[in-house]
Amino acid sequence: MGFAVVSLFVFYVLLQQGWAATTESNIPINFYQNYQVTWGFNHVSAINRGTEVQLSLDMSSGAGFESKQSYGSGFFHMNIKLPDRNSAGVVTAFYLTSKGNKHDELDFEFLGNVEGKPYTLQTNVFANGEGNREQRIALWFDPTKDFHLYGILWNQHQIVFYVDEIPIRVYKNNSAIGVAYPSRPMQVEGSLWDGDSWATDGGRTKTDWRYAPFIAHFQGFAIGGCSIPNSMVQIPQQCYSSAYWWNQERYWKLNHKQQTEYENVRNNSATHGGLRVPHLIGHAPRSRTFSIISTSPMAILYLRAILLLYLIGFCSFFYANAVHGSVIEEEEFSEELLLRPLPDRKVLSHFHFRSRAPPTSSNGRHHHLFPKAISQLVQKFRLKEMELSFTQGRWNYDLWGGFDPISSNNAKPPGVELWAVFAVPQHHVDASWKNLTHALSGLFCASINFLESSTTYSAPDWGFRPASGSLRYGTLPREAVCTENLTPWLKLLPCRDKAGIAALLDRPSIYKGYYHSQRLRLTSTEFDLEGVDSGIVLEQTLTVVLQPNDKRDVMTSLETKLHPSWSLTSMFGRKIKGRCVLAKSSNVFLQLDKGLVAEIHNMQKENKISVSDNLAHDGLKGNHGFALSVKPDRVLEEVNGSQPSVLYEFSMDSESFDLGLTWKLPVVWSCQQAPLHASRFLMGSGNERGAIAISLKSTELSRQLLHSDMIEGSCKLQVNVFQVVPWYIKVYYHSLQVFIDERPQAVLDVVEKMRVSPSEDKVSPGVMEMILKFPCGMKSASITLEFDKGFLHIDEYPPDANQGFDIPSAIISYPNFHASIRFVEDKSLDMSPILGKFQEDSSVLSYTEVLLVPLTTPDFSMPYNVITITCTVFALYFGSLLNVLRRRVAEEERLLKTQAAKTGLLAKLSAKLRRRPLETAKSSSSSSSLISSKLILKVVLVAGIAIVWQFYRG
């Protein structure tokens, strides 16, 4: 341990003396470790595992990035390869800049040119907001063929611009004589943008967009500088300390070799342009790492030996920390399953998987447990929060409860629901949302890309959740959920569905349930400006409501009233065969709702069974209504409330686990509901107009939540309503009416706050956010809004247009009521993510029904009929005409004569029998005339049809 500390100290001293500078840029650094994209997110591509970034420029946008930290001094460099071909008007920039008024700035600006002419490098220095210090040189190499190193040395004495280790410009600190000198913290930035108004030939040569996109390549993202927080406006004195090698005296001015090279550049640069350096052509360093410090071979050998000692000591240091129990931040994964009996003879199964990745700044971008696809989504689209759910069925708030964490957080509307919060400028949020929908559509094999249209998503302000304009929300109520969505969801788990609790997820068992919702919740602090960086947390939940199969053939009258007994095997067709070896914790919980616990307590009192001996401790031996097949590891009780819920915990330590519950006595109970039961329906008839009504009815359990001693009128129940309607539903928001206990009320007396965003035809949906305050003693309330039905273009109708059109579910929330379950204080509860979620204060929330609106639908059979009759007429016309043109009368006559010759004998015999003369010539002539008359009739008929057709078509 002591050796490790000594080696660390030695290495630190060497680092301060500059020994490590020779290897700094040899280590490839990931772009996102020190930099972040600021604009043009769709025009930035990271390749080679983030060690190279490409910025592209087209007519829509360019791109830019900046360092995550500000700096007060240092040496800042970048390997850059410029756009090739005809790049006139294109500006590639690498620079340092401060924020605010009277800013400081140090610029490298590469001005593109027409093909065949050299690039122009422009440098500039801004100090205290004053610029106009541009200098231009023509580079002595082709910067589009390979990477070249461009660096800026900035200390308290001078600023030096380098190109491949050759100083091309020096700006001395002459502040003592009144010349401004950069003295503010600056960030390192790079960008690619259109500057054809001035960049080439003074703006006379414009950008030729036929050669777009223009691509600039950047490498070498290590930063050697004195980093300071972005919030600081002054450079601290420590950034001028000689402990940093760039502040040492030898870097206060150029050495002899550098001075010679600098003078050569200056002497061959006429009026800061047209540089001619014949002896440098072909000899300039290419793509070399920058090494200002001179080192001898002996020094390098000495450095290697010291580094070897350091590595040995460093390893022993970490080994000692691991032995003594020091916690090193690592990725974590946990798996849990919650089972809960429901009053309507069903069972709720809630799977909860949690993955956590440490901050990128401390752990990099290589993941062992955390899904790489999710990490890339966070970094590419700068996600702060995101939630995606696939749901089949509708949560029954009356029977399954509406006042608990699962119903408030995991009960979702049918179809797909997606919302996301972005850490990007507001004018880039829509573009990020559209790209995110495409990425998620491919990742989960769903139609989420339909949400890219501005008619399908909205930007809530405060009705859904506060997000200051960076939130987008969209739903697809008619999206079908199937195994193609579940399979990629399971692939995000470290063990997938091959081991651990996820092995229970048998597809047929899940999809035959009454309700199932797979949810993905993402929280990231990678872009948090408050300095709190806990990394990325991914929560995957699957909520299923199943009906257990009661396999008893013969049942008594008492058994018919019993809830069906169940086990994991009977519900999922398999048991848990051990935990996922990558999981930090693996637990199964059985929760008894407080209503069920209260009923069991009453049964125990009637049967004189001790509660403390049976339920609170083991819940097994006492005959109090049910029995468990596996003994729980511990039993937890809810802290608050006279009727606490009970939680049994089972650890996955055995190789095989199959929990079963057998009911002994019939138990009837009800789950706790939300303060108000919300429902929504349509009013009116016809295809022109109608009304949307939201009905709110008080529940029995809600009266227990309100203070009984409150005076009527002084107690108010707050209800928030968030509703999105498609653009073809023209809602008249001024027609809002409010009814309490079936009596109309003044809108201003109930509506405390309201925000409306009217729909725009084929552009955006209508959004309504309201805060309602109702008296606590009311029994029912309703609000109505009238609307007109719009008309769609024939191309906008779906294949099943006659089925109707969906209005997404409205969201009803109660911000003053929190659905949380707090169990006995225990430090080990922190190890259980699902119990931690239960103890969070989340507002009670519920979704209404999806409404089906019939719109005026055209008769799609008419086009079919028109096509059919048109094809028939064309067939008759062209078929008859073709038949006439191809028919030959002479051949038909010869055919008739041949047939007549064959039948001549029979005709003669027939004539003798009838005693009539044989008339062969007359028959032939008559048949020929008959054929001619038929032919003429057909021709006339076809010609008439053609004339009529042409007349009406014309």
Task: Give me the long-range contacts of 872-878 (CB less than 8 A, separation at least 24).
Answer: 873/945, 873/949, 876/942, 876/945, 877/942, 877/945, 877/946, 877/949
Q: How far is CA 853 from CA 196, 738, 762, 847, 848, in A?
A: 53, 22, 17, 18, 15
Phi, psi of 634 (to 5 degrees): -165, 160
Three-class SS of residue 211? helix
Could you tell me which residues come within 8 angstroms of residue 17 by beta carbon, excluding any fewer than 6 positions away? 245
Integer CA distances (angstroms), 590 to 579, 610, 940, in order: 17, 21, 88
CA 534 to chain centre: 20
Q: Measure the CA angle with vertex 83, ends 77 and 89; round to 5°.
A: 105
Q: How far apart are alpha carbons 667 and 926 in whole angstroms?
A: 100
CA distances from 753 to 362, 660, 719, 740, 757 (A): 44, 50, 11, 18, 14
Catalytic residues: 105, 109
Dump strand ranges (E) for 741-779. Answer: 743-745, 751-757, 766-775
- Provide the residue count of the chain: 954
∠ CA 807-812-817, nearest 5°, is 165
Tokens of 479: 């999206």
Q: Are the beta carbons of 150 and 80 closer than 8 angstroms?
A: yes
Tokens of 309: 């000692």
Nearest to 379 by CA among 409, 424, 412: 424
DSSP element (H, E) containing 675? none
Question: Is the CB of residue 850 less than 8 Å from the CB of residue 682?
Answer: no
853: left (phi over 0), alpha (psi -120 to 50) or beta: beta
| DSSP result, 434-453 | HHHHHHHHHHHTSSGGGGGS
Q: For residue 744, give both structure tokens.
A: 């109309």
In DSSP notation, 679-744 reads EEEEE--SSSEEEEEEEEEE-TTHHHHS-TTPPTTT-EEEEEEEEEE-TTEEEEEEEEEEEETTEE
Q: Which residue has the tokens 């500059």?
A: 18
Between CA 326 and CA 330 the distance in angstroms is 12
Pairing between β-strand 70-81 and β-strand 158-163 as defined by DSSP bridges: unpaired
N- to C-terminal Cα distance for the chain?
Answer: 99
> Which residues in 344-470 belong to E strands, given as ranges?
347-357, 383-392, 415-422, 457-458
CA-CA distance, 464 to 813, in Å (whole number)? 9
Residues 83 and 215: their CA atoms lie apart, in Å, by 5
In this structure, what token pair is assigned to residue 532? 């709190």
β-bridge mates for residue 676, sequence order: 698
Asked whether 833 and 334 are in contact (CB, 8 A), the reply is: yes
Calpha distance 669→648 (Å, rounded): 19
Question: Within 536-640, where are the H helices?
Answer: 557-561, 568-572, 594-607, 611-614
Whole-angstrom Cα distance, residue 513 to residue 349? 10
